[in-house]
Amino acid sequence: MKKISCNTYDIHINNWDAVNEYITRGNYSSIIIIVDENTSEHCLPTLAGTLIQKFDIIEIESGEINKDLDTCKGIWETMIDFGADRHSLCINLGGGVIGDMGGFTASTFMRGMDFIQMPTTLLSQVDASVGGKLGVDFNTYKNLIGVIKNPGAVFIFTDFLDTLPIEQIISGYAEVIKHGLIIDADAYYRDRIIRDFSNLDWEQIVYDSVMIKKSVTDDDPEERGRRKILNFGHTLGHAIESHNLDTPTHLLHGEAIAIGMVMEAHLSFQKGNITEQEVNQVKASIIEIFGHQTDRIPDMETLNSLMSKDKKNKGGVIMFSLLEQVGLGNYNQEVSLENIEKAVQFYSY
């Protein structure tokens, strides 16, 4: 069991007693648990067997394609049907979609009820559940509608990772690699060589990665400055993910961010921040882990259109978070369309 204290909330790793202790202290009028069909089957029975209070369940359909205002409307309507109020508690039991959307609906229902994050995927455990970013996609644009609101607490149970298919584990591992690239070079060089994802010490991996993200979000909770480095790989990655949302075999978030990291590492190389050897190492290790998915890259016109709605932009200028060096990120970086095209070509060939 491990505990990480952030500015306004605690992150508990593998401590079921802490869940009931938190709920008892809150003296909530009711408890609502938001799940999807997967966490309802694989994770809810464990949570239900632990809670000492009664609860209601809201089940939504899994997948990024359902992270929209229509699903939020259904959640809000069901909260009303359950008689929820501002003194209720919302438990978000799921991956990044559940955490983002559950936290957003809880934060806006009656101007805000308490919520806790209980992430069940590697991606959400190391990244999405920490830092208070909440929201939904809108008109194919990633996370365009949302707020920054910290949870009351985060409860991470690494046993939930045993319920995941290997592609979900690998998807989440993209954020582990990202944290090393932007903050801790030693962690990056250690994590980039892992190929066998069985029998890893997930408690330690999750703890280390969360500590890296926490060190940034505590210093800049509203993303006014340094927190923007966490968006490395996400400007191009989110655009590629959005392009593939409506395809029969859409990209997982981590798969798209992995592509974005290769391209944005090349943008960093073009600025003279990292060496050719370093950018080639980034490309080689990411393609070895995530595959070389050149068929997922849209044409430049589509890519630029999607990037034009990125939240980091200012005054219509596309802003990137890049690498100052391996293990050190920077932000508010302008690049030319010619640079972007070269970066896309670098990944594609």
From 111, 134, 163, the end of a domain falls on: 163
Q: Are strands 319-325 and 328-334 parallel, antiparallel or unpaired?
A: antiparallel
Residue 309 sits in a domain whose CATH number is 1.20.1090.10
Residue 223 known to be catalytic: yes
Same domain for 126 and 212: no
Q: Is 238 a catalytic residue?
A: yes
Given the structure tokens 């505990």, which residue do they identify? 3
Of the candidates 113, 147, 163, which is a domain's last residue? 163
* Shared domain check, 280 and 224: yes
The two three-digit tokens of residue 300, written as one number: 């430049």
Residues 329 and 231 in one domain: yes
Catalytic hit among 12, 133, 178, 283: 133
Model confidence pLDDT, tens digit, residues 264-323: 999 999 999 999 999 999 999 999 999 999 999 999 999 999 998 777 777 778 899 999
> Does 124 lie in the same domain as 238?
no
Domain shared by 186 and 261, yes or no = yes
In tens, the pLDDT along 191-248 reads 999 999 988 999 999 999 999 999 999 999 999 999 999 999 999 999 999 999 877 7
278 assigned to active site? no
Do the beta carbons of residue 187 and residue 178 sit within 8 Å?
Answer: no
> Would the CA dihedral through 172, 155, 14, 226 be positive or negative?
positive
Look at the chain and report how many structural domains it folds into.
Answer: 2
Query: Cα–Cα distance between 338 and 226 in angstroms, integer?
Result: 26
**Active-site residue, 324 included:** no
Whether residue 82 is found in the same domain as residue 137: yes
**Buried/exposed code over 75-88 (b: 16+ C-beta within 10 A; e: otherwise):** bbebbeebebeeeb
Query: Domain range for residue 261?
Result: 166-348
* Ramachandran area for residue 276 (φ above 0: left; ψ -120 to 50: alpha; else beta): alpha
- Spatial distance between the Cα atoms of 283 and 261, rounded to a whole number of angstroms: 8
Element (H, E) at 279: helix 276-290
Asked if residue 188 and residue 159 are part of one domain, the reply reads no
Catalytic annotation present for 227? yes
109 shares its domain with 175? no
**CATH at residue 99:** 3.40.50.1970
This model's pTM is above 0.85: yes
Among the candidates 163, 198, 229, a domain finishes at 163
> Chain centroid to CA 32: how far?
22
Same structural domain, 260 and 289: yes
Q: State yes or no: is 42 an active-site residue.
A: no
